[in-house]
Amino acid sequence: MRARQAGFTLIEIVAAFVILTLVLATSYQIFSAGLQRAGDLEDYTRALAVAQSQIALASVGESFPEGQNAGESDDRKFHWTVTTSKYEEPGQSVPAIQTFYPVRIAVRVSWRGGSDRDKQLDLATLVLARSTP
């Protein structure tokens, strides 16, 4: 009688390698997606900071000329446009004797994301402007 030798058969080794490959590929995809999302969140946070700072700069003063102003961040990744306009609710008009009137300041920040897709963030606020006599 022949004694049975201890060890793995070729089929068992191939099956183990296939399972290991699937586990590693899935882990890599999950890790890559997590890194991509982290990068997207960092870009979104930076875009929000740019938008907030542009609104803060545009909100200084008592009068706000209507129009647009555009620019870009120091690293040229984020492009912003500030739009200033009188705010009127539909169906309502601002009385002529009013001392203050609402002004809408809107900022749009755009950038190219990590997946080479264009992204944008819109932020707006209302401020009070003094009427000129």
Mean pLDDT, the chain, rounded, equals: 87
Say whether 72 sits in a helix, a strand or coil.
strand
pLDDT tens digits for range 31-47: 988 888 888 899 999 99
User: Model pTM?
Assistant: 0.71
pLDDT tens digits for range 97-133: 567 888 999 999 999 977 778 999 999 999 988 876 5
Q: What is the pLDDT of residue 35?
A: 87
Query: For 54-58, which contacts have Cβ atoms below 8 Å and span 24 or more sequence positions?
Result: 54/80, 54/82, 54/107, 54/109, 55/82, 55/105, 55/107, 55/123, 55/125, 58/82, 58/84, 58/105, 58/107
Kindly indicate the confidence band of residue 96, based on its pLDDT and cuts at 50, 70 and 90.
Answer: low
What structural domains does the chain harbor?
10-130 (3.30.1300.30)
Please list the helix, strand and coil fractions of the chain in percent, rounded to the nearest 5, in that order. Answer: 35, 30, 35
CA atoms of 127 and 88, how far apart (whole Å): 12
Q: What is the pLDDT of residue 2?
A: 63
